[in-house]
Amino acid sequence: MTHVFPRHTRARPPRAARGDGAYIIDETGKRYLDGSGGAAVSCLGHSDPDVTQAIKDQADRIAFAHTGFFTSEPAERLADRLIAHAPQGIERVYFVSGGSEAVEAALKLARQYFLEKGEPSRTRFIARRQSYHGNTLGALGTGGNMWRREPFAPLMVETSHIAPCYEYRGREAGETPEDYGLRVADELEAELRRVGPETVIGFVAEPVVGATLGAVPSVPGYFRRIREICDRHGILLILDEVMCGMGRTGTLFACEQDGVRPDIVTIAKGLGAGYQPIGAMLCSGEIYAAIEGGSGFFQHGHTYIGHPVACAAADVVVEKLTTGGMTARAARMGEVLGEALTARFGQHPHIGDIRGRGMFRGLELVEDRESKTPFDPSRGINKRIKAAAFEAGLICYPMGGTIDGRQGDHVLLAPPFILTDDQVGELV
Ligand code: PLP
């Protein structure tokens, strides 16, 4: 008996005892290959000696319990390291404690930017259907995942949702991927005209969709057109890289591969690599200057901004991802994983689609591949696959995103970048 309030109150998962690289070992000694990296968190694996040492060193070094009224050396070092590798124009880092809070802070900063500029009429966002941006109310508002958001809809920020860029389902016969991408991006233009661009703060999207459909990249050109439309109407482009960022897709920031420059970008999961709760919101120099030259005060304070132990851990993570070559490894092993999955495609008639970039790969499971008919949701296919894989000592991440108005079954694979060729074989 425990007094912990679990998220699923009717199912108790096994108790984890320890981690060992790409494996988690439960209290009975059973080993599980971590095919999901937690929830796309564990980029370096489970017992990275450098990150663990940095946490110990920093804990030894600090003689204070809370730094709310100070900055700290690890926070400044981490911010400098992130900015050195950030997309063009991104100049400041605001630390938070996780992904939802990073998105929450981004929405507030975007609104405050326009208040500082004397544009209070901008009160709403545009985002995409089938998206997930976190579980706090602002993040749920921009999220387009009906299952999660509907019960709380009356409490949320006003957001309208347009189609995601999902080539496998959305492309019309004879349409090139590029034309499809431009057509879907132009939905943003149409929505801006419908609601009035002067009422809109920004457009929020994940460069590679994660938590609802399992690793869906956009087609080339889509985000460049989105950027043009944002610029034309003076709205901000907010990219949520909480899941796809920090090397997971093979570049430190996923948007690098889309050739797009965000005004604000959020990161979390891989930033702490699972060792410490941490997230960050990065913004352009222009947005920062508006706050600095205006009220001089960003209205999103919280107790643990830039906690030195979390920042010391994340600094080693980002060092390993950049100069340590771990992002390049994610790109290389991601190719191996992608090829292994594709080789299996023909053997499994119920795999409708395989997609993704780097160590961020998704499978869609269908009743019939030709017609792309999803399984009946009552069969709970993805949950059964998760259970069967767990039984066999493999962790994967089931997802139930909606496509064409119908619930589908998807599985996300987001393993640690340290995976070996043999472990890729074990995974697929
Ligand atoms: N944004 C995206 C894209 C996510 O995938 C998630 C979590 O899955 C979040 C935000 C929320 O992050 P957290 O669970 O750390 O609050």
CATH code at 294?
A: 3.40.640.10
The reply to whether 30 and 97 lie within a common domain is no
The reply to whether 164 and 254 lie within a common domain is yes
395 phi/psi in degrees, rounded to 5: -105, 120
- Say if 91 falls within a structural domain: yes
The reply to whether 257 and 221 lie within a common domain is yes
Considering only CA atoms, give the Rg of the chain: 21
Residue 335 banded pLDDT, cuts 50, 70, 90 = very high
The reply to whether 311 and 209 lie within a common domain is yes
CATH code at 335?
A: 3.90.1150.10
- Whether ligand 1 lies within 6 angstroms of the CB of 210 is answered as yes
- Whether ligand 1 lies within 6 angstroms of the CB of 205 is answered as no
**3-state SS, residue 94:** strand
Q: Among 59-63, 64-68, 69-73, 414-418, where is mean pLDDT lowest?
A: 64-68
Hey, whose CA ends up nearest to atom 7 of ligand 1?
134
Hey, whose CA ends up nearest to atom 8 of ligand 1?
211
Helix spans in 234-380 (H):
269-272, 285-293, 308-321, 326-345
The answer to whether the beta carbons of residues 416 and 45 sit under 8 Å apart is: yes
Query: Can you name the residues that pair with 93 across neighbouring β-strands?
Result: 282
- Say if 239 falls within a structural domain: yes
**Which one of 36, 41, 107, 133 would you pick to mutate in the ligand 1 pocket, going by the greatest count of ligand atoms within 8 A of its CB?**
133
What pLDDT score does 400 carry?
79
The reply to whether 83 and 214 lie within a common domain is yes
Hey, whose CA ends up nearest to atom 11 of ligand 1?
134
Using alpha carbons, select from 333, 245, 243, 274 the residue that is nearest to residue 46. Answer: 274
CA of 134 to the centre of ligand 1 (A): 4
What is the spatial distance between Cα 70 and Cα 253, in angstroms, rounded to a whole number? 29
Strands 31-34, 23-26: parallel, antiparallel or unpaired by DSSP? antiparallel
- Say if 211 falls within a structural domain: yes
The reply to whether 281 and 345 lie within a common domain is no
- Whether ligand 1 lies within 6 angstroms of the CB of 104 is answered as no
Among candidate residues 281, 306, 321, the one where a domain is terminated: 321
Token pair 């089938």 is at which residue?
A: 130
- Say if 104 falls within a structural domain: yes
Q: Which helix (H) or strand (E) holds 80?
A: helix 73-84
Which pLDDT tens digit goes with each residue over 239-250? Answer: 999 999 999 999
**Which one of 239, 243, 360 would you pick to mutate in the ligand 1 pocket, going by the greatest count of ligand atoms within 8 A of its CB?**
243
Number of H helices, E strands in the chain: 15, 20
What is the spatial distance between Cα 414 and Cα 74, in angstroms, rounded to a whole number? 28
The answer to whether the beta carbons of residues 238 and 58 sit under 8 Å apart is: no
Among candidate residues 275, 298, 321, the one where a domain is terminated: 321
- Whether ligand 1 lies within 6 angstroms of the CB of 90 is answered as no
Using alpha carbons, select from 45, 88, 17 the residue that is nearest to residue 317. Answer: 45
Token pair 């092993």 is at which residue?
A: 333
The reply to whether 67 and 28 lie within a common domain is no
Among candidate residues 276, 294, 321, the one where a domain is terminated: 321
What is the spatial distance between Cα 46 and Cα 69, in angstroms, rounded to a whole number? 33
Hey, whose CA ends up nearest to atom 2 of ligand 1?
133
Q: Cα–chain-centroid distance for residue 13?
A: 24
What pLDDT score does 173 carry?
86
Q: Where are the beta strands (DSSP E) in 129-274?
A: 159-162, 200-205, 208-209, 216-217, 236-240, 264-267
- Say if 5 falls within a structural domain: no
The reply to whether 251 and 114 lie within a common domain is yes
Q: How many CB atoms lie within 10 A of CB 72?
A: 19
What is the spatial distance between Cα 352 and Cα 118, in angstroms, rounded to a whole number? 50
The pTM (predicted TM-score) of the whole model is 0.96
- Say if 309 falls within a structural domain: yes
- Whether ligand 1 lies within 6 angstroms of the CB of 209 is answered as no
**Domain extent at residue 291:** 55-321
CA of 301 to the centre of ligand 1 (A): 20
CA of 98 to the centre of ligand 1 (A): 8
Residue 405 banded pLDDT, cuts 50, 70, 90 = low
Task: Specify the number of domains making up the chain.
Answer: 2
In this predicted structure, the answer to whether residue 403 has a pLDDT above a threshold of 80 is: no
The reply to whether 21 and 60 lie within a common domain is no
DSSP single-letter state for residue 375? P
- Whether ligand 1 lies within 6 angstroms of the CB of 39 is answered as yes
The reply to whether 83 and 41 lie within a common domain is no
CA of 212 to the centre of ligand 1 (A): 11
The HSE-up count of residue 266 (CA atoms within 13 Å, CB side) is 31
Question: 159: which residues sit within 8 A by CB, 6+ positions away?
Answer: 124, 125, 126, 127, 141, 142, 204
Mean pLDDT of 255-266: 97
- Say if 269 falls within a structural domain: yes
- Say if 11 falls within a structural domain: no
The ipTM assigned to this model is 0.99
Which pLDDT tens digit goes with each residue over 90-131? Answer: 999 999 999 999 999 999 999 999 999 999 999 999 999 989
CA of 95 to the centre of ligand 1 (A): 15
The reply to whether 28 and 75 lie within a common domain is no
The reply to whether 159 and 307 lie within a common domain is yes
